[in-house]
Structures are given as C-alpha cells and as structure tokens.
Structure 1
Amino acid sequence: MDEVLKAMADPNRRLLLDSLNARDGQSLRELCAAMPMARQSVSKHLAVLEAANLVTIERRGREKLHHLNAEPLRDIAEQWIKRYERAAAQPSVQWVHRYGGASDQP
C-alpha cells in the first residue's frame, strides 16, 4: 500500500493515470504528447507506476502499450479508506462537547 500511495503522491503520475483512465493502452509517444515534460521524465514516472503495479505493459512488436491497473486503488479504498468512513459519518467527541449533540435547529 505504501508504494501505491507514494506513486500517487506525485501530480505528474496522477496525470498519467488520468490519461490512461481516459484512454487505456497508450504508447509512450502518446502519453508524452499530453505531458509537459521530456520523454525520459515520462518514462521514469511510468517506471514508478509500474513498480507500484498501477500500470501494466503490453508489448506489440516494437511498441509497448501502457494499461491502467486500478486494482491496487480498489484495495486501498476497500481496506484502508473504509476504516475512516465510519468515523467521518459520526460526530466527533469534540463536536458533541462543543455543540451538545445532534439538533435539527441551525
């Protein structure tokens, strides 16, 4: 999970994931066209995403196509984020002490 969150921490990598989510199976050339950086930088970001299992590679002849693998993101949503949904749905102890509990009045 740490590797996935670390990979997602960079805004350029999130842009690459967004691009693959919009149109899966893009080549490096196609991904570079939409990114404001050098080809080598895009390659390095893709390598980080691949190491985190967020991107998979399909080889077609001499071309490599990049595919989004959203499974690690689903795992984080199911295993980690859902832990905090219950807490977010209930008023905090500080809120109850400050405002005296639930009320229909503003």
Structure 2
Amino acid sequence: MQYLQPQRTSPREVILDSDSPILLPCPVRSHHAVYTWEKDNCIKSYTCPVTGESCLLVSTEDLPMDPGVFRCSALEDGFREEIVSYRLVFNSAPLWAPSAALAALCTALGSALMWV
C-alpha cells in the first residue's frame, strides 16, 4: 500500500530586522483540527493556540526564532495538511542603508532623466 505525502506549500519569504517581533499567522480552516508549527522539517513541533480565525507563532524569550523555514500544519481525523509556510530572513543592513536593487533602480532612473 502506498501513502501519499502531504503537499508542501511554497514558503513566503519574510525579511525582518533581527530585533523585530515575529508573529507568523496560520489561517484556521477547521476548529476541530490541531495546528502545529515546525521549523526546517525538524521533528520538534510547536503548538499553536487558535485565536479567532488564525493561530499565531510568536517569538518569545522561550522561543527565539532563527532564520529558516517555518511550516504550519493542521491534523484532523488522522489527516495532516500543510496550511502555510514562511522563510524567515533577517536583514543585516540598517534600515537607512539602500539595498543593491534600490541603488540600481536609482542609477537607472538617473540615467534615464539625463536623456529627457
């Protein structure tokens, strides 16, 4: 007998400053399901209390969050479904420092304005 693997979601990239609070929402599709979070496909999972229409994974002193992929799954009647995933990336540049893409855009705009 062959078992189907649950579908994986494509992680949404979230870029944050290292000192920013982190709140990862997972939409609630059924109030009968148990929602959990896992990081980087590890066996360790984090419970996710349901509040309204979502359950949040919140960074705390007890649960610091490092860069990586966080996946939220729902388990109901023995069936597991991955609901959402996020790839956390921490921005190492200060907020005022322009990114390479922004610098390239400014250069291109400056060049275009010279021809007007």
TM-score, with length taken from structure 2: 0.27
Structure with the bigger RCO (C-alpha within 8 Å, sep 6+) is: 2
Higher helix share: 1
